[in-house]
Structure 1
Amino acid sequence: MIFRYRDYHKVDNEWVKVFEDGYFKLSSITVNKPASTVINVTSGEGLLFVLKGLVKVNEVSMGNFDVAYIPKGSSIRIELNPGTLAYLAESWADNTRGFYVKKREAVKPVTSGIPPYERNVYTMIGEGDPADSFLMGYTEGSIGNWTSYPPHRHDGKPEAYIFYGIDPGFAAQFILSDDEELAYVVHDFDVVLIRKGYHPNVASTINRVNYAWVIAAPRGQRTLSVNVHPLYSGLPMGQTHLRMGK
């Protein structure tokens, strides 16, 4: 399921809903003047991440690709600089944890795969980080390369891809399951929600495919384990942030 930036970006300086799918929700804000907003995360946990611009949360400054974990029951004020585009993901939580910020510059990327499916992966919220539901990171491919490859699936663990750094080129996102085969042309800040199926993507020959990925795992399934398509299970991967199955 795709949500086009041009469709969900209706107004500036206000939070707008991108999607709400069961317990998994994603909102976005674009600001063109200094703005202040309050986020209330009452029934679950939240992730605030910045794809461009500068914000300040709980007196902590955040820039491009930084991520803040917002605990259950929190009400926090955010100061946003002009030109900022930020997202808030929300999911279930049973526990009340502490607020923390992960800086992208402090996360060492894993270079995964080989050409033509080589990419750098920054795991911002991994299995070892405090969270009940969320796993989150960034994938940045090489020009013309595939990512999310070899094709893998984790049915039952919904995931959102939020694309960036593609325009003026394009990329193609595929979702392949037993009952349907879908393909979307994606551009900057388009969002694809993946409920099930294999989900590889590929860039055109003049650009990369880059995206934030957010997994909202159900209870008892907060792992980066995946099932690889059997036809592609023997492909060399080198390093990987995933737990690869067959």
Structure 2
Amino acid sequence: MSNLKYSLPAPRDGFQTVVKPGDSGLKYIHFGLLYLKGGGEWSAAADGKEAVFLLQGGGGRVRVEENSGAEMVFLLLPRRSLFHEKPSLVYFPPDTKFTIAAGPEGLSGAYIEAPARHRGVPFHVTPDLLTQQTVGEANWQRFVTLATIPECGARKLIVGETINPPGNWSSYPPHKHDTLVPEVEVPMEEVYHYRFSPPGGFAIQRVYDPPGGGERLEEVAVVEEGDSMVLPRGYHPVVAAPGYSLYYLWVLAGEENSYGAWSDDPAHKWILQNR
């Protein structure tokens, strides 16, 4: 049984924490899932933290109370598919109070926090602001969307989505981001959250340290619908089972947030030279 895999019971109305600081070595990320029935509401405050809400299904609106006392309202247009539509995301700077309200069809999504102290402005990332990139080729091609675009102002969190076609690998060649290497790699912990199409799919997630040093991290886990995995350090490739498309939400956090600041496993980096 993996010490890094987390599973919730059946979804229930309201917010449920999946992982938080202290779980499997996490220092920064508090990650959970929000489900609201039609017309339902959930209110919270990002006290001493920055936060994001990423819409995964349904639609609604977000009311935000700024530190100045002014109120902003962001409309979350309905999202029908994780696999064919880009997300909406709302960024909350530290100490923001807000209410997420579901539309008639209900709403589901991920709410994520990390400690932060800067001042900022709430920002609504709409799907038209996002670009889905094709990364890799052959059976390691996947489709990646960075949701926390620079305009949103996040200082600690990086959040995005990846789609693996059936049988394909991602986070490949394997990469890691657990060591400070100036201009190359920045230490950031990570969490993955998995979904599948059609239902009933699974994927294989490996997490491992490079050779040398002390006790090595080496875990391989079967992940299924709704599972999440903490990636505290090390390389972390994942492969979808044949016949099933894999969606995973990924969350990075650290003292710095620098997207792309990672190092590839030298043992497998050669695949980039054969493109």
**TM superposition score normalised by structure 1:** 0.88
Q: Which moved more, 1:133-142 or 1:55-64?
A: 55-64
2:69 paired with 1:61 = no
* Structure 1: distance between partners of 2:56 and 2:273: 28
By how many angstroms is 1:60 displaced?
Answer: 1.5
Q: What is the CA deviation profile of residues 3-43 of structure 1, one whole-angstrom value per residue up to 9, with x for unaligned ones?
A: 11327x4xx22212111113321122222342111121010
Segments of 4+ moved more than 6 angstroms: none
Q: Which residue of 2 aligns with 1:116?
A: 139
**Matched-pair contact (CA < 8 Å) for 2:196–2:202:** no
2:189 paired with 1:158 = yes
**Matched-pair contact (CA < 8 Å) for 2:171–2:237:** yes
Amino acid at match of 1:77: T
Q: What is the CA deviation profile of residues 162-212 of structure 1, one whole-angstrom value per residue up to 9, with x for unaligned ones?
A: 112342221111111251321121222211111101100001110122111
**Matched-pair contact (CA < 8 Å) for 2:91–2:152:** no
* CA radius of gyration, larger in: 2
Q: Which residue of 2 aligns with 1:207?
A: 244
Q: Please give the root-mean-square deviation of Cα atoms over the aligned residues, in Å.
A: 2.1
Q: Which residue of 2 aligns with 1:6?
A: 9
By how many angstroms is 1:106 displaced?
Answer: 3.0
Mark the CA change 1:187 to 1:84 in structure 2 (over 3 Å): closer, same or farther: farther
* Structure 2: distance between partners of 1:107 and 1:192: 25
Candidates 196, 213, 226, aligned match of 2:262: 226
How does 1:19-30 map onto structure 2 within 5 Å?
Answer: 19-21=19-21, 22-30=27-35
* Structure 2: distance between partners of 1:45 and 1:161: 19
* Structure 1: distance between partners of 2:229 and 2:274: 27
Amino acid at match of 2:191: A
Mark the CA change 1:35 to 1:118 in structure 2 (over 3 Å): closer, same or farther: same
Percent identity (aligned): 21
**Matched-pair contact (CA < 8 Å) for 1:112–1:238:** no
Q: Which residue of 1 aligns with 2:18?
A: 18
**Matched-pair contact (CA < 8 Å) for 2:144–2:161:** yes
Q: Which residue of 2 aligns with 1:171?
A: 203
Helix, strand or coil for the counterpart of 1:84?
A: strand
Contiguous gaps of at least 5 residues in structure 1: 240-246
**Matched-pair contact (CA < 8 Å) for 2:49–2:94:** yes
By how many angstroms is 1:228 displaced?
Answer: 0.5
Mark the CA change 1:198 to 1:127 in structure 2 (over 3 Å): closer, same or farther: farther
Candidates 128, 132, 146, aligned match of 2:169: 146
By how many angstroms is 1:127 displaced?
Answer: 5.2
Contiguous gaps of at least 5 residues in structure 2: 22-26, 64-72, 80-86, 179-186, 211-215
Amino acid at match of 1:235: I
Q: Which residue of 2 aligns with 1:134?
A: 157
- Count of aligned residue pairs for this structure pair: 235
* Structure 2: distance between partners of 1:105 and 1:186: 31
Mark the CA change 1:70 to 1:237 in structure 2 (over 3 Å): closer, same or farther: farther
* Structure 1: distance between partners of 2:116 and 2:157: 9
**Matched-pair contact (CA < 8 Å) for 1:45–1:92:** yes
**TM superposition score normalised by structure 2:** 0.79
2:94 paired with 1:72 = yes
By how many angstroms is 1:126 displaced?
Answer: 4.0
